[in-house]
Amino acid sequence: MVPFDFHPRTRIAFGPHAISRVGLIARELGFHRTLVVADPGLRAAGHTANVIERLTASGIETFLFEDFGVNPDSTMVAAGAAFAEPLNVDSIIGLGGGSSLDCAKGINFILRNGGTMADYRGYGRASTPLLQMIGIPTTAGTGSDAQSYAVISDPETHMKMACGDPSAAFRVAILDPDLTITAPRHVTAMAGFDAIAHAVETAVTTKRNALSDTFSHQAWRLLSESFERVILHPTDEDARGAMLLGAHFAGLAIEQSMLGAAHACANPLTARFNIAHGLPLAILLPHVVRWNGVVARERYAALMGSPRR
């Protein structure tokens, strides 16, 4: 069997209305002055104000940064770090989809270690541990809330840089399915397909192991059973919860086994054309599965619950 080294770094607070605990959780972690990195679209949905109000009620001073796009690049991250530097923050909260969570991590890298995001491409290049963070996903997609990587685009080369460090993992991930209900249907669909692609690719990669398989297969079960339900019935709370938890499990699988050709091809398309990550994955994954099927047929069959031949 393939060896692995598993060190859970993120506490998971999952369930309806879990967001009501954000102030208490932040206070338990010792937050006092917190940078909130939030998707600009969440303001209209009321999620940003809700989080800030709960933090304020717990005696935590907050500073809001929203100036970034759907595919955060190193320039946006640098702007966030410049905004936060004079504020003397001691903690960061990422609120939103994968763009918010990755941008929060990227800001943390620069705020604590200086330089540019290109300096942290790879893993373990932060000389100073990052500030404590809470991740609050509002889409069921990237699984960034389960990972110790930030994926940041280079605006000049259009390359996506994976920048990882053990301290880049969120200390707590608050997974509240209620927060995903306000996402537009097309956002739900593209985020969901991103999560599905994570489950499928991690299940067949050559780096998979017994632990990643556990997460991949459980993620696939939750996502495949709930994806159509959240598209047809957006307020189905059980389906929303299954998608959110499935996306998190798929993110945990990535930490152990990484991804494959669909993501390798989709990442430059996402960065160059500034499109949501799930769209190129929806186009590419079927072709990659057919290509891989020559050598990975048994792994795909196992994922689907079919007997091995």
The Cα 245–Cα 259 span in angstroms is: 19
What pLDDT, on the 0 to 100 scale, is given for residue 95?
A: 97
Mean pLDDT of 11-25: 96
| DSSP designation for 5 | -
pLDDT of residue 306: 46
Q: In which residue are the tokens 């989080």 written?
A: 51
| Confidence at residue 17, expressed as pLDDT on a 0 to 100 scale | 95
Q: How far apart are CA 66 and CA 204, in angstroms?
A: 37
**CA dihedral in degrees (107, 37, 39, 55; nearest 10)?**
170
Question: What is the rounded distance in angstroms from the CA atom of residue 256 to the CA atom of residue 241?
Answer: 23
Q: Does residue 309 register a pLDDT over 50?
A: no
Tens of pLDDT, residues 109-162: 999 999 999 999 999 999 999 999 999 999 999 899 999 999 998 888 878 899
- Copy the structure tokens of residue 210: 């017994």
The sign of the torsion formed by the CA atoms of 217, 300, 263, 2 equals: positive
Distance (Å) of CA 259 to CA 200, 212, 253: 9, 11, 9
- Phi/psi at 220 (5° precision): -60, -45
Answer whether residue 307 shows pLDDT above 50.
no
Q: Provide the 3-class DSSP secondary structure of residue 123.
A: strand
pTM over 0.85, yes/no: yes
Q: Give the span between the Cα atoms of 216 and 198, in whole angstroms.
A: 8
Q: Which residues of 222-240 are buried (b: 16+ CB within 10 A; e: fewer)?
A: bbbebbeebeeebebeebb
